[in-house]
Amino acid sequence: MFFLKHIFRLREKWQIKREDEEKPFLEHLDDLRTMLLRMALCLTVSTILCAGFASNLMDILRRPVNQVWDMFEESHLPAGIGLDAWSKAKEMATAMTSLGASQRALFLRQVSPSQADLTEAALVLRGAQPLPEDRKQVFIREGSPSTAVRDLAEALYSKGAVLADGTGRGPSR
């Protein structure tokens, strides 16, 4: 603090001394050029530094948004379903859309039965998404031969589970 006070006092004394003399126009232009060069140099250095740490800076800026998104998404899940399991189920459901029936069955055997049911429920919800509102519930009730998957899909639908990815962009349900 002492150091800053001393610098400000020196600057004030220097300004008082400089106010007494009048500058010619060319000196003003020279001062302007110096300031513009300093600004360009600062901008260049800060741009290079920010470019080097871009991913870290974006992580810092995204953290509050991601926390709010996670809280929102978690509030729209039925009890007993964790955010990690739901995120994994959505990811797996996306991967399964291009697979045939036998490949889907093989894919689902690679995970726990509860994760497989959750993934199938996410698939049912994704299938119901483009349907009109009055037909969605019918599709969800009849979308899977497994009663556990149907019950899970109905619970997720009634709570308004979010099918969009973790960025918060995309369809809201």
Give the tens place of pLDDT for each residue, 51-99. 999 999 999 999 999 999 889 999 999 988 888 999 999 999 988 888 8
End-to-end CA distance of the chain: give it in Å, rounded: 55
Q: Estimate to the nearest angstrom the gap between the alpha carbon of 92 and the chain centroid.
A: 20
Residue corresponding to tokens 């140099």? 41
- In angstroms, the CA 88 to CA 94 distance is 10
Q: What is the mean pLDDT of each run of 10 residues along the chain (173 residues)?
A: 75 65 84 96 95 93 92 90 90 88 88 91 89 88 86 89 63 42
Sign of the dihedral defined by the CA atoms of residues 92, 94, 95, 101, in that order: positive
Is the full-model pTM beyond 0.75? no
Q: Is 116 exposed, middle or buried (0-12, 13-18, 19+ CB in 10 A)?
A: buried
Residues shown for the chain: 173
